[in-house]
Structure 1
Amino acid sequence: MTDSFSIRRAAIADLDALVALESVIFASDAWPEQLWRSELESPHTFYLLATRPDAPAEVVGYAGLLSLPGGLDGDVQTIGLADEARGYGLGRELMRLLHLEAERRGVREMFLDVRVDNPVAQSLYRSFGYEEIGIRKGYYQPDNVDALVMRAAL
């Protein structure tokens, strides 16, 4: 039911909405505004955001890609969905679009970190061919939660 949402490239004008949603989704380890600003302003990143067609100013999801020019690898920087946007396939669609952009940029391998206590996200990533390649102990702070490092070939 991803037709219930509109997806577009994020812009610096979306900064406040992204920061607000991030603080709801990832309360204890949300990215600060300055990090979001640098991500949105970087020529090496690509961020998408999702809204409902009837409320285009209300961000309900986002996802980001980092890839350096000429590099063969890319990173899923973040992906997040508001509670009311879960269960519609929106996370899957955001991942699909990130992968398309990565391929357009010449990326051959994608990497990401995911909390070990987030089996829903892990399942989504595995459905895209991601495999666990390592663990980062205590990566997510201040919760001191380990991260699974995952990789997928495009």
Structure 2
Amino acid sequence: MESTFSFRMMKVDDLDQIMEIEHQSFTVPWSREAFYNELSKNQFAKYLIIEADNKIVGYCGVWIVVDEAHVTNIAILPEYRGMKLGEALMGRMIETAKEHGALMMTLEVRVSNTVAQSLYRKFGFQGGAIRKNYYSDNQEDALVMWVNL
């Protein structure tokens, strides 16, 4: 499946499609209200979407506070995974964070999610600390990763 894709900032009107991606991607998905609050009330939040085939196929969120960007979430629809869209999305989000003054980016990732860790390492992220029992669904540890931008 060959697709062209484009990026834009997420809007409240996108939430139906975002919730579909969220529920297909995470065992403990964020609520619609959480995304609504991020978009309408959180001055630090920036959410980017990637579109292909005339629909939203992924998104990534960061909080940018002073000079640090923290990735809150990133997801691609299952049928669009393996097409390097996550890599394209992460690259664009890093550029967006830099444009907003970020000098460093951090994130947490499940210790078992080696596919995501490999993606982050492509962008220079390094593993740091472990957050014990970070994930509420199974008490899995999170690997904290960071990169200087």
- TM-score w.r.t. the length of structure 2 is 0.92
| C-alpha distance in 2 between matches for 1:98 and 1:140 | 24
Answer whether contact 2:24 2:78 (CA < 8 A) is retained: no
The number of equivalent residue pairs is 148
Are 2:35 and 1:36 aligned?
yes
Q: Which one-letter code corresponds to 1:124 in the other structure?
A: L
Runs of 4+ residues over 4 Å off in structure 1: none
What is the match of residue 89 of structure 2? Answer: 94
The alignment yields a C-alpha RMSD, in angstroms, of 1.6
Q: Which one-letter code corresponds to 1:88 in the other structure?
A: M
The partner residue of 1:65 within 62, 66, 82 is: 62
Structure 1 residues 12, 73: CA separation in 2 closer, same or farther (over 3 Å shift)? Answer: same
Answer whether contact 1:2 1:90 (CA < 8 A) is retained: no
The runs of 5 or more residues in structure 2 that have no matched partner are none
| C-alpha distance in 2 between matches for 1:19 and 1:122 | 24
Cα distance, 1:43 vs structure 2: 2.5
| C-alpha distance in 1 between matches for 2:79 and 2:50 | 12
What is the match of residue 7 of structure 1? Answer: 7
Cα distance, 1:90 vs structure 2: 0.7
| C-alpha distance in 2 between matches for 1:77 and 1:44 | 11
| C-alpha distance in 2 between matches for 1:126 and 1:36 | 27
- TM-score w.r.t. the length of structure 1 is 0.89
Cα distance, 1:45 vs structure 2: 1.3
Q: Deviations over 1:68-109 (max 9, x none)?
A: 2xx111111110011111111111111111111111111111
What is the match of residue 47 of structure 2? Answer: 47
| C-alpha distance in 1 between matches for 2:110 and 2:39 | 23
| C-alpha distance in 1 between matches for 2:14 and 2:2 | 21
Answer whether contact 1:2 1:89 (CA < 8 A) is retained: no
Q: Which one-letter code corresponds to 1:146 in the other structure?
A: D
Are 2:146 and 1:151 aligned?
yes
The runs of 5 or more residues in structure 1 that have no matched partner are none
What is the match of residue 75 of structure 2? Answer: 80
State, as a whole percentage, how many aligned pairs show the same letter: 37
| C-alpha distance in 1 between matches for 2:119 and 2:8 | 21
